[in-house]
Amino acid sequence: MKKNRKRGAMYFGIIAILAVFACLIGIGMVADPAGALSLGGMLPLFAIGPVMVGKDLKGLQGLCKKAQGELETIKGQVESASAKGEEGKDEHATALRAYESKKLELKGLMDQLESAVEEAKQNKRLGDLMGDAEAMTKAVPPDGTNLSGGQGDDGSGGSGTEDAYEKMLKKIKAEAQDYQRKEMDKEELFFKFVQSGTKGMGDRALDVLQPSNKDLSKNSEGPVAVIPGRIMDKMFPGLFRKALPMTSHDTDIQGGRANLLYPDYGTQILQLPSEEPSLFMRVTKKPVTGGSLVETRLVQDDENEFGGVEVEWTDEETDAPDTEMEVERITINCHPLKAYTSFTKVLLGRSRWDFEGELVDKLRKAMTAKFDYAIMHGTGVKMPLGIRMADGIRTTARGTAGAVAYADLNFMKHAVLPHHRSGATWFMDDTVLQALEGTVDTLGRPIFSQSVGSGPLDRMLNYPWFVNTRCSSIGNPGDIIFGNLQHYWFCIEEEIVIARSEHAEFKKGGIAYRIDALAGGRPMFERAFDILVGAGS
């Protein structure tokens, strides 16, 4: 009797296990439309989806570019045939039909590309959610777990130095934790890298410091590390700051924004301006990923601000004007930018906050100076395109060579259309300001004088002004410019990395650091700027 009971219990247990296994397989098959008999069948599908869509996106992008090029070619043929008059009437009709056909083809490709982009976004978001869900369900290793896999001095696995790093890594990798503490732990790893290189660091520690954009590290001879977000925020305040995943119902005045953003420690570090006022601080800044930014811009000119769309008064028998809105794609490519500096080991042996202040100060000044110069004079080749070098910028010829007069400013102001002057400022070289301050009327009274009431907010022809040494010296094109700097877009790759070497400054007992970044820019609306050029230009 007992044997039968045991045998029955055993059969019942086997049947229960098979039933659970069948249910799990059923769930996997439901989650996996491909019918893969795998408990993880869902995640591989999500991983494959974006890759397939990515290939489709690349192919459609190539087809769109090809069709756009062919459309431009046919457009040229239409214009050429139209110029022949009556002789090219047949040729014009043929080219026009081809042009309309190619436009329809391009529109169809654009619709396909738009659908593919939306599908890719949905798949990526779904994949990210599934990845987050999987990470949240994983158990966090206990504090005593050795993640390095080696043997320590005490036989418990891993050296004392590696154990410290790995414990820190466990804090970083775990999801259910204080996000502020997580960032501080990343900073600790970063400063260990800066002070001691990779000595004592495991592969997992180095992985935490690596940039997601591999272009930033592929040309480096040794390991690199991403500068922590809080230090980046001190170098470029507000550009990369992100909200923490919290909920707050406070207003800005009550401290809601303070609760949502990373706390700001050591405010004295923020007092590190490069050259104030700065061009870079006034332009529109766009953080990008992937090394470029593509935007759609309406085609406008002084005759038509509506992209070619026209409206006319007609009678009942006359057709409506045949117009089509024109848009264009503007691409801003980011170019490599490098900075180099060194510190002595004596300096590095002090508090890391002193080092951080020195690092932020030197790098911000050097990089902002380069940014300012590129915004003004950049050629667009391996660097941003500057205002002075861009096509389509308005120009005003000065009345007297080598000088700037009141009449020049008046012509410059009115060269920019009234509805484009909102937010405009004058920015000039100090030699121009000196000349304007010395300009007097027939009675010897200065034309431009400071107001006791407004102080530093004095205006020239009702618009504010500031001095920047990146402008050309007086008498040269670009010594004074009028326009709203928000119409210049400057793009920076979200990650900036630092490489470390003890060999370059070995004789001096120092350690060298090289910064690698990707940045680019261009005037987005050229007609909103006016430059004073040479006499008679």
pLDDT per residue as tens digits for the range 511-528: 787 888 899 999 999 999
On average, the pLDDT of the chain sits at 74
pLDDT of residue 301: 87
Question: Residue 480's closest CA among 385, 409, 386, 392?
Answer: 409
Q: Is 211:226 a contact under the CB 8 Å cutoff?
A: yes
pLDDT of residue 7: 56
Q: DSSP per residue over 16-52, as a string?
A: HHHHHHHHHHHHHHHH-TT----TT-HHHHHHHHHHH
Residue 379 pLDDT level (bands cut at 50, 70, 90): very high
Residue 413 pLDDT level (bands cut at 50, 70, 90): very high
User: Taking the model in full, what pTM does it have?
Assistant: 0.52
Higher pLDDT, 379 or 346: 379
Does an H or E element contain 297, and which? strand 292-298
Range with lowest mean pLDDT among 132-136, 152-156, 306-310: 152-156
3-state secondary structure of 473: coil
Q: CA distances (Å), 511 to each of 66, 191, 327, 342, 520, in order?
A: 50, 13, 51, 5, 29
In the block, which residue shows the tokens 């953080």? 287
pLDDT per residue as tens digits for the range 306-332: 888 888 888 888 888 888 888 899 999
Residue 34 burial (CB < 10 Å; 0-12/13-18/19+)? Answer: exposed
pLDDT per residue as tens digits for the range 383-410: 999 999 999 999 999 999 999 998 999 9
Range with lowest mean pLDDT among 157-161, 204-208, 313-317: 157-161
Question: Residue 301's closest CA among 69, 68, 71, 528?
Answer: 528
Highest-pLDDT range among 14-23, 107-116, 308-317, 426-435: 426-435
Residue 1 pLDDT level (bands cut at 50, 70, 90): low
pLDDT per residue as tens digits for the range 463-507: 988 898 889 999 999 999 999 999 999 998 877 777 777 776 667
